[in-house]
Structure 1
Amino acid sequence: MAIKHKLYFSIWLLSFSLIGIYLLSGEPQETFPGETITKYGIVIDAGSTGSRIHIYKWSESTEEMTPFVEEIAPEFKTKPGISYSHKNLEMIDSLVGDLLDFAMDHIPKNKYKSTVVYLQATAGIRLLPKKQQESIINKCREVVHEYPFLYTPENIRVITGEEESLFGWITVNFLTGNFEIENSSLHSNKSTIGCLDLGGGSVQIAYVPSAINQSSVEDKSLFHKLFINGSIYRVYAVSFLGYGATEANIQMIQYLEDHQKSLDYRGHSIAISSCYPYGFWGDFCTTNKENCKFVLGNFDYQECKQEILQAKFPNKKCNFSNCSINGTFQPDLQDSYVGLSVFFHLNSFLFGNDNPNSTIQELTQKGDQYCNLKYSEMVKTHHKNTRTFPYLGLYCFYLVYSNTLLENIFGFSINGEQNINKIGSVDETEISWTTGSIIYHLSNIHQTKFPVHFIILNSRYHYIFFLICFALFFVSLVFVFIYLKQYLANSHQIDNNLRQDFIDLSDLEVFINEQNQNRNGFKAKQKED
């Protein structure tokens, strides 16, 4: 190989090793093989009704690919949701500040600077105009910046409904062990659990369809391809803004007023609804508190269901083989799900811990029995339970609305052909989309045009690759110096040869000129003779 080509190859090798060192010099590797380091992370779920902090701890080790995150602090929540602060941003000082003060009490001081903070706003903020969203998020960034934790502005943002849905799905399957590594070839669509999440502002559903044929998928934009620990998952994940329990409640009451199912009392329009127990009356406000509605209850399950269908789901247009909300394509359901948020809290209220796998039919029977009580009787029974007391009247609406979503909109069987396990925790770890979020952000994730996320959970080979690149850098650097020196030496020799050739050519030119002059002189002398 010519010296010039060897030099070019060494320079290329040097550049390659530098790029490798740069890519491997940061996260996720911070330990030597076999060592572990304890890390902490904070995720603030800025929801529609309040903001809840989740504090996680995990041991980062080169010996494992997936760090197991553990939630270490009790539940702590501030109310109202930060979406209510759009007219008074100073509210955020306490709404977010109190959460971070709480975190400082539960994280070791020597870990503050390495503890990453994520504040992720959901449906309550997504319902606001963009300018109001930006002002609230910027104020949140200012508050977080005052604390000693690690964060970037991108950590404080409004997440999409699809992200929230995927995070929930990751949480459920991570905690139930479905992402455990198997020593075999690449798997596709390993057995997983679907995730249903009914919040205040939106409802999410995410699952891997029971029978998926990519050529027959009618709307590929709703599928997200995940590569996790050697397995590929094609997850159907959608979110419907404005279809959460709180927003649906307000919109249904508005519908009753618009259709003259209300009465006027001292200047207030009070809707008469079949979705609340007899004798109940109360006021409900939208996320931004600018629209409050009054309602009087007189419960009837079937009439309530019709009110919900007419108010929230009047459009049955569908351009696909099967649709859910607003004509959105929905593939075949899988067999097993976990129900979060309202699904869990409603089931827990009605059954306690006795029947987390209750069917729609069982929920209907139990709920109908409860909701046909007078509201005054409910108060007598539950007035000492401060956790459930504020929702006594709402549970009846939650019952009918959640069942309507499951049976009439998403197509679940009332007899339990699809198992929905309505639980709040797995092995004492709360099931929250925030767990999926911290796992997602702990991972090295790359996204392509088609929503594909490659999740490499703390590769054990990271340290080895770094050493290889480092050694390659020094070897290639030595060769660059050697070949560069040889190249310059050869160039100098060539230059001397060219210079000598130039001198020789000059002498030849002088000789030729002399010969020409002699020839010309000889010719001139001949002419004279």
Structure 2
Amino acid sequence: MAQRCAHPVVPVALLLFGLVAILLLTVPTEDVQEAPGFMYGIVLDAGSSHTALYIYKWPADKHNGTGVVTQHSECHVTGGGISSYVGQQGAAGQSLKVCLDQAVKDIPKEKHQLTPVYLGATAGMRLLHISNPEQSAQILQEVGHKIQSYPFNYQGAAILSGQEEGAYGWVTVNYLLENFIKYGFVGRWFSPGKPTVGALDFGGASTQITFATQEEVEDVQDTMKLRLYGQEYSLYTHSFLCYGRDQVLLRLLAHLVKSQGYSESVEHPCYPAGHSRTLNLNRIFNSPCTTKYRPSSYSPRALLTVQGSGHYERCLANVSEIFSFDSCPFSQCSFDGVFQPNVTGRFMAFSAFFYIHSFLQRITGITVNTPSQLQEATKRLCRMNFNQMLLLAPDQKTRLQDYCASSVYVSVLLLRGYSFDETSFPQISFQRKAGDASVGWALGYMLSLSNLLPAERVGLRKALTPGAWGALIFLFVLLLTAVLIFILLRVHDGKKKGGSESTI
């Protein structure tokens, strides 16, 4: 009899469980943002003039997803770039010590062995590889050994091609501007549908231009296709080796020495009037970029005196001669016979572009937003003497002599070389940072190598809201309580009936 009384519990419980299962299927879901721990990554940007270490972080559960990567910290290595340590055994690696020590402090200890470290060398090492492949390989090996002595996950040291440097800079710019994908206020990822921004990079030994274009790229070496977040991008990208700031200044000086007959003293129209300096000829002619200006024989230790004249028009003429605008094997070219489609859309100019543009505005008081303003500011700067400049920018004393030449070069490069005009030039934004991250190729490099930029559109993971979870827990508690009460009542009824029968 007691067994028979317990039987109704089973169907009732099954019925209730079925109702709960149906409710589970109909409970609404939404995309929720979790707060996981962070993963970290390190990129060493080994440029021609200096090395910078950048630490990035992202949510730990987004390694192959859409997690937003942010810059955690940065450290700038004192001294020159790693290519400047040729012939100094171990010095290139040792130069990184202070910044690597800083990285150990900045990244939580438990994350050290999980943190990938990448070293990318750019145009300075590309030039060294051209002139002396053995020495460039030795320096990469030295810096690799130094990095491996730290408790991080070393991923290797490599020399980036100019095309890679340009493309990674473009990825960085558009990632930071959230042009690929954006996390909205409603708590879900979406494609903002914004056009991408072109990237203009100006380093010590090379300069890069990269932008998305629908025009045919006539030279296949300057085209690159990327698929990011389910979107295909066709890029035009070209890197001009020997057109970085430091190498341009050397080439200009070498050109002046040659055009003035290799005399012991030369007039420099881009130096401030009355300013002079003395240097060894080896400083000028030991670069692969100045080979064509080099005399057939010279004493590397011979001294050269450079006397400034502060003449804008002659400075412009000499800087223009560094470029070749004559021959073009394609339908149109930028310079040196390199094909370039028409520049379209917005651009971000960074690295030395930002510093030169910022200096021009600061020292002349002219807002440089148009080609005419750029030319007017450059003229005004080039006509100042050294003391006038020093009064306005005392913190730039060691660089003042070079700003006229650099500004004229930027003007020729952007307006005549890349063909920015009254319409397109105002579309250039000169920036050092986007948000809290420094703009350059380093972030794009790490994003690509770490697989943090999926090629396909990322699927959204559904999660229950806290309210839905609360409702479900309440239902389960209610179910268990009901079942327990039902069983207790049945047992109680069974005992009463059993007691009544025994009394009879």
Question: Does the alignment reach a TM-score above 0.5?
Answer: yes
Match of 2:387 in 1: 376
Match of 2:475 in 1: none
- C-alpha distance 175-237 of structure 1, shift in aligned 2 (>3 A): same
State the partner residue of 1:147: 150
Following the alignment from structure 1 to structure 2, what is the Cα–Cα distance between the partners of residues 49 and 63?
33
Q: Partner of 1:66 in structure 2?
A: 66
Change (3 A) 1:420 1:357: farther
Q: Does 1:195 align with 2:199?
A: yes
Assess, with a 3 A threshold, how the Cα gap between structure 1 residues 432 and 156 changes in structure 2: closer, same or farther. same
The CA deviation at 1:62 is 4.9
* Contact 2:73–2:106 (CA under 8 A) maintained in structure 1: yes
Residues 56-109 of structure 1: per-residue CA shift (max 9 Å, x gap) = 111133599322221122442321111111111321232122221121121111
Counterpart contact for 2:226–2:232, Cα < 8 Å: yes
How many angstroms apart in 2 are the aligned matches of 1:342 and 1:304? 20
> Does the CA contact (< 8 Å) of 1:272 and 1:298 recur in 2?
yes
1:154-198 deviations in Å (ceiling 9; x for gaps): x21111111110111011111111001699xx99x9611111111
SS of 2:369's equivalent in the other structure is coil
Q: Distance in 1 between matches of 2:220 and 2:426?
A: 24
- State the 1:350 CA deviation: 2.3
DSSP-derived class of the 2:336 partner: helix
- Which residue is equivalent to 1:313? 323
> Once the 2 structures are TM-superposed, how far is the Cα of residue 436 of structure 1 from its aligned partner?
1.3
Distance 1:73 1:293 in 2: 43
Describe the shift of the 1:362–1:166 C-alpha distance in structure 2 as closer, same or farther (beyond 3 A).
same
* CA deviation string 1:127-148 (max 9, x = no partner): 0122121111111111111111
Q: Distance in 2 between matches of 1:157 and 1:288?
A: 24
Give the Cα–Cα distance (whole angstroms) in 1 for the partners of residues 459 and 182 of structure 2: 12
- Where does structure 1 differ by over 4 angstroms across 4 or more consecutive aligned residues? 286-294, 352-357, 414-418, 456-461
TM-score w.r.t. length of structure 1: 0.70
Rounded to whole Å, the distance in 2 between the matches of 1:369 and 1:228 is: 45
Tell me what 1:132 maps to.
Answer: 135
Stretch moving more, 400-409 or 417-426: 417-426
For 1:89 and 1:287, locate their aligned partners in 2 and report how far apart those are by CA, in whole Å: 24
Contact 1:262 1:272 in 2 (8 A): no
Any stretches of 5+ residues in structure 1 without a counterpart? 1-32, 265-269, 446-453, 462-529
Q: Residue 415 of structure 1: CA displacement?
A: 6.1
CA contact (8 A) 1:40 1:111 kept: yes
1:192-228 deviation per Cα after TM superposition (whole angstroms, max 9, x unaligned): 111111111001000012xx24xx4322331111111
- Structure 2 unaligned residues grouped into runs of 5+: 1-32, 185-189, 288-299, 462-504
- Please say if 1:405 is aligned against 2:413: yes
Deviation at 1:356, TM superposition (A): 7.8
SS state at 2:45 partner: strand
Residue 398 (structure 1) shift: 0.9
Aligned amino acid, residue 302 of structure 1: E
Does the C-alpha gap of structure 1 residues 113 and 401 become closer, same or farther in structure 2, counting only changes over 3 Å?
same
1:121 matched to which residue of 2? Answer: 121
Q: Deviations over 1:437-479 (max 9, x none)?
A: 121122278xxxxxxxx73587767xxxxxxxxxxxxxxxxxx
Does 1:37 find its partner at 2:37?
yes
CA RMSD between the two structures: 3.1
* Deviation, structure 1 residue 249: 0.9
Matched, 1:331 2:338: no
C-alpha distance in 1, partners of 2:98/2:284? 24
Correspondence 1:506-517 to 2 at 5 A = none
Mapped contact 2:198–2:346 kept (Cα < 8 A): yes
Do residues 297 (structure 1) and 308 (structure 2) align?
Answer: yes
**Which stretch shows the higher mean deviation, 80-89 or 282-291?**
282-291
2:372 to 349, 352, 361: 361
Aligned residue number for residue 161 of structure 2? 160
Letter of the structure 2 residue corresponding to residue 192 of structure 1: T
Question: Measured at CA, do residues 366 and 356 of structure 1 come closer, stay the same or move farther in structure 2, by a change above 3 Å?
Answer: closer
Q: What is the rounded CA distance, in whole Å, between the counterparts of 1:230 and 1:160 in structure 2?
A: 26
The one-letter code sitting in structure 1 at the alignment partner of 2:406 is: Y
Whether the 8 Å contact between 1:57 and 1:71 is mirrored in structure 2 is yes
1:248-272 residue CA offsets vs partner (Å, 9 max, x unmatched):
11111111111116752xxxxx331
Give 2:170's aligned residue. 169
| Gap change, CA 1:325 and 1:132, over 3 Å in 2 | farther
Letter matched to residue 217 of structure 1: V
* One-letter amino acid of the structure 1 residue matched with residue 385 of structure 2: K
Structure 2 equivalent of residue 520 of structure 1: none
Q: Distance in 2 between matches of 1:106 and 1:181?
A: 27
Deviation at 1:287, TM superposition (A): 10
**Range with greater deviation from structure 2 (55-64 or 85-94):** 55-64
| Paired AA for residue 82 in structure 1 | I
Aligned partners of 2:40 and 2:285: how far apart in 1? 32
1:302 CA drift (Å): 2.3
In structure 2, relative to structure 1, the CA distance for the partners of 1:295 and 1:359 (3 Å cut) is farther
Secondary structure of 1:376's counterpart equals helix
Secondary structure at the counterpart of residue 375 of structure 2 = helix
CA 1:190–1:220 in 2, change beyond 3 Å: closer, same or farther? Answer: farther
- Displacement of 1:278 after TM fit? 1.1
Closer, same or farther: CA 220–59 of 1 in aligned 2, 3 Å: same
State the SS of the aligned residue for 2:208. Answer: strand
Cα deviation, 1:25-71, whole Å, max 9, x if unaligned, reads xxxxxxxx967331111111111111111111111335993222211
- Distance in 2 between residues matched to 1:355 and 1:456, nearest whole Å: 46
The answer to whether the Cα contact below 8 Å between 1:223 and 1:236 also exists between their aligned partners in 2 is: yes
Per the TM alignment, residue 363 of structure 1 is displaced from its structure 2 partner at its CA by 2.0
SS of 2:431's equivalent in the other structure is: coil
CA distance in 2, matches of 1:308, 1:48: 21
Structure 1 residues 333 and 455: CA distance shift in structure 2, 3 A: same
Q: How far apart are the structure 1 equivalents of 2:286 and 2:96? A: 18
User: Retained in 1: the 8 A contact 2:169–2:440?
Assistant: yes
Q: Which residue of 1 aligns with 2:274?
A: 279
User: 2:67–2:452: 8 Å Cα contact kept in structure 1?
Assistant: no
In structure 2, C-alpha distance between the alignment counterparts of 1:295 and 1:434, rounded to whole Å? 37
Change (3 A) 1:172 1:45: same
**What is the alpha-carbon distance in structure 1 between the residues aligned to residue 49 and residue 445 of structure 2?**
20
Deviates more, 1:314-323 or 1:158-167: 314-323
Cα distance in 1, alignment partners of residues 285 and 160 from structure 2: 17
